[in-house]
Homo-oligomer: A and B are copies of this chain.
Amino acid sequence: MSDPEDDMREWWRSEIIEMEPGIIRYRGYAIEELIGNASFSQMIWLLLRGELPGKAEAELLDVALMSAVDHGPQAPSIAIARMAATCGVGLNNAMASALNVLGDVHGGAGEQAVELYLKIAANPAFEQSIEAAVAEEIDNFLDSVGPYLPGFGHRFHPIDPRAPRLLELVDLAAERGTVSGHFATIGRQIEAELEKRKSKRIPMNIDGATAVIYAELGFPAALARGLFCLSRSVGILAHAWEQTRQGGRNKGPIPRDYLWRYDGPEARPLPPDE
């Protein structure tokens, strides 16, 4: 390469933001025009997708974001935020330690569900028979990934109260032409197929339902995780803040008078020197 300044500029190139002194534009739109005209959800969409969504699309995104903000301190992310808040670090640090654990297991179900839905929609059988496409892709998933479908069933809730309400709103958006409604159909058919196979209902959960929304809105699967991170960051912050006001120092996972069970070797002397 020949010109170091060009190399630097190119190394950090971006389509997201343009800046000159006194000027900030996102994807070509001046910030002072966006402020007051674009909502937080529209801004999230603009930065991630490159274009401003219509208001109806942004509202559906907003619903997905508001619905997954918190599931209480039994979740590792929330417990981490609360413990971190007592260790003498900033709110940003407490949030980071917590956000960091929204990995494949704790934060990945939405992403995996979008992937599954997209495979079903892309299955050659889909046009003729949603049922066949769903059954085949469930089989593929069970064969190649594992026994639990992401987005369905819940350890704690017999029916996740968020899922049916979210699907209602997708239906409404489909009626209005905001989205196609195909992914709501796919999600419901997965439920039906699971019930047929297991002889009991394994209902869609929050991850399955927000994945329907993200797929309806055209987000790639990987961003389902990113958007979940934005959403859950709210609960993470709220719990870190509540803990800050409750006080405490070096909050451990269980009350101080209780210890773990040690199940290693009994007390022993050091081995003799070689």
Which A positions have Cβ atoms within 8 angstroms of B?
A: 1, 3-5, 7-19, 21-44, 47-48, 50, 52, 54-56, 62-63, 65-67, 69-77, 79-80, 82-84, 86-108, 155-162, 164-166, 168-169, 222-223, 225-226, 229-231, 233-235, 237-242, 244, 249-271, 274
The copy count of this chain in the complex is 4
Give the complex CA separation of A27 and B264 in angstroms. 6
A21-B156, A29-B268, A72-B14 are known contacts. Are A83 and B80 too (CB-CB below 8 A)?
Answer: yes
Chain B nearest CB: distance from A239 CB in Å?
Answer: 6
Q: Is the CB of B159 within 8 A of A257?
A: no
CA distance A151 to B159 in the complex (A): 48
CA distance A261 to B72 in the complex (A): 11
Nearest residue (CB) in B for A35 is B165
Q: How far is the CB of A4 from chain B (nearest CB, A)?
A: 4
Interface pair B11/A255, CB less than 8 Å apart: yes
Choose one: B237, B250, B261; the contact of A76 (CB below 8 Å).
B250
Q: Are A103 and B83 in contact (CB under 8 A)?
A: no
Q: B100 near A96 (CB under 8 angstroms)? A: yes
Q: Cβ of A225: which chain B residues have Cβ within 8 Å of it? A: 90-92
